[in-house]
Structure 1
Amino acid sequence: MPSPIAAILDNRAFGILMRVVVTFPFWAAGLAKIADFNATLAEMAMFNLQPAAVIAVATIITQITGSALVIHGRHAWLGAGWLAVFTLLTIPLVHAFWRFQGEEAVVHMHVAVEHIGMCAGLALAAVQAHWVRTVRDETVLAPRLAAARG
């Protein structure tokens, strides 16, 4: 790998930026749901998700808190898992392509496949956050612990 690329990939700020970007669809949707809560309630009702207000609030909490955990990095695994379960649940609840016909089925199938890809991206974000913490622990904390012991 060229050293300039390695330097970018090793950069802590770049890792955080990429975790912000990969979670953008979630935290942006959560903020939009807050900004227009009446539209959020209508969306929940459109998909027969009841009670609409409870599910809307749970969705907002999931999208924003899960994103924050991934971005922060300390509990990225939890945020990524939370968002992945949420994302996978939308497939049978909202994007059940097998229930549609023709072009509509194809559109929903593409969304479902994209959702699966997003879950992989979330998993990679959790891996990246874990590696950053592991390297930090090995290069920063381990020498400090050794010095304190010895």
Structure 2
Amino acid sequence: MTTNPFAPLLRDHRFAVSAATLLTLPYWTSGLAKLADLSGALAEAEHFGLHPAAAIVALTVLVQVGGSLLVIAGRLAWLGASALGVFTAVATLIAHPFWTVVDPMARFHERNTFLEHAGLIGGLMLAAIVREQTR
């Protein structure tokens, strides 16, 4: 039987909080940036044809910041991770439809971004499991 030298670290609540904070970093920083630049956030929603833009931005900020806080706190982490996962799936389909891109280099980059977002969804699924087990 081998012992895991990382076991104490993996059981440390601070490690779980740090991991959840890093996993949700793209979301809560984006939500805060949208709050700091509402005109830019509204322009982004308009760019993607999302209406009403103000409601979309408000919901986006709520999901990004609120969902992140739930995952980080480990309270209702399943709800926060689910909200962020659904948001990511919808946003990725809207913003990164690599299958419609003609230029090979642009398609390559869009596909990679699409797959990175799919990986974030998987990470959020794991976070929902782990955060619920470690609280």
TM-score, length-normalised on structure 2? 0.93
Larger radius of gyration: 1
Unaligned runs of 5+ in 2: none
Residue 136 of structure 1 aligns with which residue?
none
AA at the equivalent of 1:106? F
Cα deviation, 1:61-113, whole Å, max 9, x if unaligned, reads 11001101111112101100110000000122111111111222221111110
Shift of 1:3: 4.6
Please identify runs of 4+ aligned residues in structure 1 that moved more than 4 A: none
AA at the equivalent of 2:123? G
Shift of 1:2: 5.0
1:52-91 correspondence to structure 2 within 5 Å: 52-91=53-92
Residue 40 of structure 2 aligns with which residue?
39
AA at the equivalent of 1:116? A
| CA RMSD in angstroms, aligned pairs only | 1.2
AA at the equivalent of 2:23? V
Shift of 1:125: 1.1
AA at the equivalent of 2:109? V
1:116-131 correspondence to structure 2 within 5 Å: 116-131=118-133
Q: Distance in 2 between matches of 1:114 and 1:90?
A: 13
Cα deviation, 1:27-86, whole Å, max 9, x if unaligned, reads 000000000111111111111111111111111111001101111112101100110000
TM-score, length-normalised on structure 1? 0.84
> Does the residue aligned with 1:32 lie in a helix, a strand or coil?
helix
Q: Distance in 2 between matches of 1:49 and 1:120?
A: 26
Q: Distance in 2 between matches of 1:54 and 1:47?
A: 14
Unaligned runs of 5+ in 1: 134-150
Q: Distance in 1 between matches of 2:8 and 2:26?
A: 27
Identity %: 39
Q: Distance in 1 between matches of 2:44 and 2:95?
A: 11
1:83-122 correspondence to structure 2 within 5 Å: 83-102=84-103, 103-122=105-124
AA at the equivalent of 1:11? D
